[in-house]
């Protein structure tokens, strides 16, 4: 099994936090240590420089400073610094400092730098040296002050041990903190995961709970709950569909089989056989219409890309629908309101399948005429820069409020439609077609006050712009 599959995200987060804390602690510890080391070196050199300057002033104050070349004039003066050693040398005429270097165990380049630059410093990790050149009685001399830096040798050693101890303790506490933080961060996720595992097709009503003060997780929870709402609705719709379809198909089949059984039970006259066959034919036609409607609903539930899409002028489509409905039944009283038409007719074009759009709009307007007992149905057409709107308003029987959540169930018919012919497939079929065209269908209704249906479609040019951006 691969490492990534074994190690959980919680462990990875804990290790990552520990690595970050360790890097920060080591960085700042090193910065503190080297800053103090650098400061101690500079400070000690400043003290030695003061001491060397004092030596020069003392030596210049002497009346007679006649020293042989390469001779140590002064060594082991009174110690004002730890293990201080002070020297005064006459600069050799040949500038050869090898003899002096050998005697005091200091590299000759240190003396050469002093003679050349007037001042120089040097350390051998234990003793620190600083030298200055000066002139007295027309002769050149070098004064050197040296001492052991106890601060670096002892105090910085203590600082190093202290920092190492602090780093080890910090790593220990960072491990505890990282573990606690990773547990705290992942506890809500583990809680959500456990809740999700409890949800199945038998308890789709369960929902995830929002996490306090956690905006990101709450967005995930809300998204998941929205998905559950859609799935639950889909399951309920499927259950209703199965129940409605089984009832709608069983009724004509039962009637057909019953008539055929009665007709075959005893001998009958030709007129009785014709009557029975007529009933069977009528029930078979109803069954055929229902099956075709069911197939149409199923087909329009698929992705609209399988359909042929062209530019369709909605105003022309509406005129054609109204003319068709008037030919079907002269009682259909339809008024087309064009007061909201845009100045630019291009805004009325949509990308769609003209036959399917014709079918959807026809079903909506025809329902308005039928359920208003052929009173006038007002159809309004308008458009914005992005969308085309069709609003169908009637003053018919309306839909009971408690049944509004079932209006898109295939074969569902409201309780107040018993006196009206129909199969309950017009509205769900229209909604499927509208969805195929990336549109929206909104129904608002009150019993005995009428129904308003709003259809919205994105116009052709807004769809084209979105496709170009994609």
- Segment 355-364 shows an average pLDDT of 88
> Does residue 420 have a pLDDT over 70?
yes
pLDDT of residue 70: 39
Query: Do 75 and 149 share a structural domain?
Result: yes
pLDDT(134) > 60: yes
Q: What are phi and psi of 147, to 5 degrees?
A: -165, 165
Are 42 and 149 in contact, with CB atoms under 8 Å apart?
no
Last residue of a domain, one of 129, 154, 179: 154
318 and 457 in a single domain? The answer is yes
What six digits make up the tokens of 109? 């380049």
Q: What are phi and psi of 317, to 5 degrees?
A: -60, -45
pTM score: 0.47
Residues 321 and 455 both lie in one domain: yes
Are 349 and 452 within one domain?
yes
Residue 38: inside a domain, yes or no?
Answer: yes
Domain presence at residue 420: yes
Residue 234 CA, distance from chain mean position? 27
- Banded model confidence at residue 73, pLDDT cuts 50, 70, 90: very low
Same domain, 251 and 266: yes
Q: Is residue 192 part of a domain?
A: no
Mean pLDDT across the chain, nearest whole number? 79
Phi-psi group of 408: left, alpha or beta (phi > 0 → left; psi -120 to 50 → alpha; rest → beta) = alpha
In a domain, 179, yes or no: no
Cβ contacts of residue 341 below 8 Å, gap of 6+?
315, 348, 381, 382, 383
Q: Say if residues 87 and 104 touch (Cβ distance below 8 Å).
A: yes
**What are the angstrom distances between the C-alpha of 370 and each of 124, 248, 356, 404?**
109, 21, 21, 19
Averaged pLDDT, 97-101: 81
| Model confidence at 357: pLDDT above 60 | yes
User: Is the same domain home to 379 and 323?
Assistant: yes
Q: Is the pLDDT score of 318 beyond 70? A: yes
Same domain? For 422 and 346 the reply is yes
pLDDT value of position 294: 67
**What pLDDT shows up at residue 313?**
92
Determine the average pLDDT of the residues in 427-433.
85
Between CA 427 and CA 388 the distance in angstroms is 20
pLDDT range class, residue 57, cuts 50, 70, 90: confident
User: Which distant-in-sequence residues (6+ apart) come within 8 Å of 413 by Cβ?
Assistant: 422, 423, 424
pLDDT band of 19, cuts 50, 70, 90: confident
Looking at the structure, do residues 87 and 103 belong to the same domain, yes or no? yes
Mean pLDDT of 406-410: 81
Residues 385 and 336 in one domain: yes
Cα distance between the two ends of the chain: 40
| Token pair in block for residue 164 | 């190492």
Q: Is the pLDDT of residue 299 over 70?
A: no
Torsion of the alpha carbons at 207, 211, 215 and 220, rounded to the nearest 10? -30
In-domain check, residue 73: yes
Per-residue pLDDT of 244-259, as tens digits, reads 566 567 777 888 888 8
pLDDT value, residue 300 = 60
Do 292 and 427 share a domain, yes or no? no
Q: Residue 324 pLDDT more than 80? A: yes
Q: Mean pLDDT throughout 179-196?
A: 75
Domain that holds residue 290: 215-299
Domain endpoint, select from 154, 171, 200: 154
Band of pLDDT at residue 453, cut at 50, 70 and 90: very high
Domain match, 346 and 276 both: no
Return d(Cα 413, Cα 408) in angstroms, integer.
Answer: 10
Show which of 232, 265, 299 is a domain's final residue. 299
Q: How many domains does the chain have?
A: 3
Quote the pLDDT of residue 298: 62
Residue 296: per-residue pLDDT: 65
Angle made by CA atoms 244, 245, 251, in degrees to the nearest 5: 90
Please tell me whether residues 233 and 347 are part of one structural domain.
no
CATH code of residue 349: 3.30.565.10
**Helices 270-300 & 215-265, crossing angle to 10 degrees?**
170
Tens of pLDDT, residue by residue over 202-244, are 676 777 777 777 677 778 788 888 887 777 666 665 665 565 5
Q: HSE of 399 in the Cβ direction (CA atoms, 13 Å)?
A: 22
> Is 424:244 a contact under the CB 8 Å cutoff?
yes
Give the integer Cα–Cα distance in Å for 150 and 83: 9
Phi and psi at 214, nearest 5°, equal -140, 85
Alpha-carbon distances, residue 15 vs 2, 25, 35, 225 (angstroms)? 18, 15, 30, 33
Domain assignment present for 186: no
364: confidence class by pLDDT, cuts 50, 70, 90: very high
Task: Please state, in angstroms and rounded to a whole number, the distance separating the CA atoms of residues 316 and 306.
Answer: 24
For residue 73, give every residue at least 6 positions away whose Cβ sits within 8 Å of its Cβ, in sequence order, or none. 59, 67, 87, 88, 89, 90
Residue 284 counted as domain residue: yes
What is the Cα–Cα distance from 448 to 396, expressed in whole angstroms? 6
Give the domain CATH number at 294: 1.10.287.130
CA distance 455 to 390: 5
Q: Which residue has the higher pLDDT, 387 or 63?
A: 387
Residue 2 predicted with pLDDT over 50: no
Number of residues that make up the chain: 470
Burial class (CB in 10 A: 0-12, 13-18, 19+), 100: buried
Any domain includes 77:
yes
């Amino acid at each position: 099994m691969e490492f990534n599959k074994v190690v959980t995200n919680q462990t990875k987060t804990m290790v990552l936090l520990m690595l970050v804390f360790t890097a920060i602690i080591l960085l700042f510890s090193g910065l503190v240590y080297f800053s103090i080391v650098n400061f101690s070196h500079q400070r000690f050199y400043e003290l030695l420089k003061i001491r060397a300057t004092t030596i020069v002033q003392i030596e210049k104050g002497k009346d007679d400073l006649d020293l042989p070349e390469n001779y140590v004039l002064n060594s082991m003066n009174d110690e004002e610094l730890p293990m201080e050693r002070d020297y005064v040398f006459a600069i050799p005429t040949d500038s050869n400092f090898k003899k002096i270097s050998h005697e005091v165990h200091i590299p000759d380049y240190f003396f050469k730098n002093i003679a050349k630059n007037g001042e120089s410093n040097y350390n051998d990790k234990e003793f620190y040296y600083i030298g200055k050149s000066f002139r007295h009685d027309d002769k050149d001399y070098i004064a050197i002050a040296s001492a052991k830096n106890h601060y670096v040798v002892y105090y910085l050693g203590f600082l190093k041990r202290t920092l190492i101890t602090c780093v080890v303790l910090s790593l220990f506490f960072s491990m505890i903190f990282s573990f606690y933080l990773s547990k705290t961060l992942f506890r809500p996720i583990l809680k959500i995961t456990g809740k999700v595992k409890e949800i199945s097709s038998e308890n789709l009503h369960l929902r995830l709970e929002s996490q306090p003060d956690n905006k990101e997780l709450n967005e995930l929870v809300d998204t998941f709950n929205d998905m559950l709402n859609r799935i639950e609705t889909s399951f309920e719709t499927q259950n209703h569909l199965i129940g409605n379809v089984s009832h709608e198909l069983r009724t004509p089949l039962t009637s057909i089989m019953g008539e055929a059984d009665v007709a075959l039970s005893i001998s009958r006259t030709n007129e009785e056989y014709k009557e029975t066959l007529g009933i069977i034919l009528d029930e078979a036609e109803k069954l055929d219409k229902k099956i075709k409607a069911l197939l149409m609903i199923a087909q329009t539930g698929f992705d609209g890309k399988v359909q042929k899409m062209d530019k369709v002028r909605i105003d022309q489509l509406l005129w054609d629908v109204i003319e068709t409905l008037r030919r079907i039944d002269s009682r259909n009283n339809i008024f087309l309101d064009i007061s909201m038409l845009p100045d630019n007719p291009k805004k009325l074009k949509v990308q769609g399948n003209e036959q399917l759009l014709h079918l959807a709009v026809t079903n909506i307007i025809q329902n308005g005429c039928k359920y208003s007992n052929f009173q006038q149905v007002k159809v309004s057409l308008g458009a914005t820069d992005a969308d085309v709107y069709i609003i169908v308003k009637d003053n018919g029987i309306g839909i009971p409020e408690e049944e509004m959540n079932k209006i898109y169930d295939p074969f569902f018919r409201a309780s107040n439609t018993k006196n009206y012919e129909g199969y309950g497939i017009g509205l769900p079929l229209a909604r499927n077609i509208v969805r195929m065209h990336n549109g929206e269908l909104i129904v608002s209704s009150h019993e005995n006050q009428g129904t308003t249906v709003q259809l919205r479609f994105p116009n052709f040019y807004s769809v084209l712009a979105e496709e170009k951006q994609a």
